[in-house]
């Protein structure tokens, strides 16, 4: 069975800090604690308006992390330069607009193929693993592979929304997408709206799942359970 790593997205920690200014909660210390409590990666998504994770956060995180650092974002020039300066283990390309509340769609890897090819090449030449954020559509994944990425990250909001109504139906396109990723030689990540209710079924059903990136639900759970117990609970779902 493929080992699935838990990467904790700490954007919401930064959102809380930014609501009052200052340094409470301390984003850097929270990242250190996430690793200490068992997280196998740290994810951040610095946006142009810096409404949660800031450029300085990304710079400060790099030297202190001991697990994989994953930076998400739309690969426009300022983001590209930040990633190339930091050299994280992984960059996840997300096509979100500047005013998007949260990521809400994957790439059209057909229409954007030449752009994505160029971006993938630049990051890979710098030694960074590249993942492309995609909807669970087999044709899109096939073209993602032709862009030169190492992995795709399945956008899982559709699964999460359909889980309680009919989990078998909700997961079917994701299973097909995972099989297509394997056929294309791509690694597989997943993220968005995965939580303690729906994660175990996703994990046991989707083949070759290498990583899940979870932030909003995990941080919400930590308000009730504490960060250490919450990370432990998510890791238990991934056994």
Which residues are paired to 69 by β-bridges?
42
Q: Which of 35, 40, 52, 72 is catalytic?
A: 72
**CA end-to-end span of the chain, whole Å?**
10
Catalytic status, residue 172: no
Contacts (Cβ under 8 Å, ≥6 apart) of 154: 106, 134, 135, 136, 174, 177, 178, 188, 189, 190, 191
Tell me which of 45, 52, 143, 203 is the catalytic residue. Answer: 45
143 is an active site residue = no
Tokens of 51: 């409404």
Closest CA to 104 of 129, 133, 76, 67: 133
**189, two tokens:** 């990540």
- Choose among 110, 106, 55, 62: nearest CA to 86: 62
- Strands 90-93 and 187-191, by their bridges, are unpaired
Q: Is-catalytic flag, 122?
A: no
* Residues with catalytic function: 45, 72, 192
């Amino acid at each position: 069975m493929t080992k699935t790593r838990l990467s904790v997205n700490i954007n919401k920690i930064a959102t809380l800090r930014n609501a009052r200014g200052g340094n409470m909660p301390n984003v850097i210390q929270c990242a250190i604690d996430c690793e200490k409590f068992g997280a196998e990666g740290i994810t951040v998504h610095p946006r142009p308006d810096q409404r949660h994770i800031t450029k300085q956060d990304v710079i400060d995180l790099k030297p202190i992390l001991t697990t994989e650092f994953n930076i998400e974002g739309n690969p426009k020039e300022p983001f590209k330069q930040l990633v190339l300066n930091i050299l994280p283990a992984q960059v996840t390309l997300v096509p979100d607009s500047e005013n998007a509340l949260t990521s809400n769609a994957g790439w059209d890897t057909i229409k954007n193929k030449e752009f994505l090819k160029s971006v993938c090449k630049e990051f890979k030449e710098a030694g960074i693993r590249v993942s492309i954020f995609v909807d669970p559509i087999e044709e899109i994944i096939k073209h993602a592979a032709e862009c030169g990425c190492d992995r795709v990250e399945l956008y899982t909001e559709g699964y999460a929304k359909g889980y309680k109504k009919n989990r078998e139906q909700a997961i079917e396109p994701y299973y097909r997408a995972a099989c297509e990723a394997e056929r294309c030689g791509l690694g597989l990540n997943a993220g968005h709206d995965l939580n303690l209710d729906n994660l175990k079924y996703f994990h046991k059903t989707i083949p070759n799942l290498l990583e899940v990136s979870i932030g909003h639900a995990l941080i919400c759970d930590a308000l009730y359970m504490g960060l250490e117990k919450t990370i432990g609970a998510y890791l238990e779902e991934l056994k």
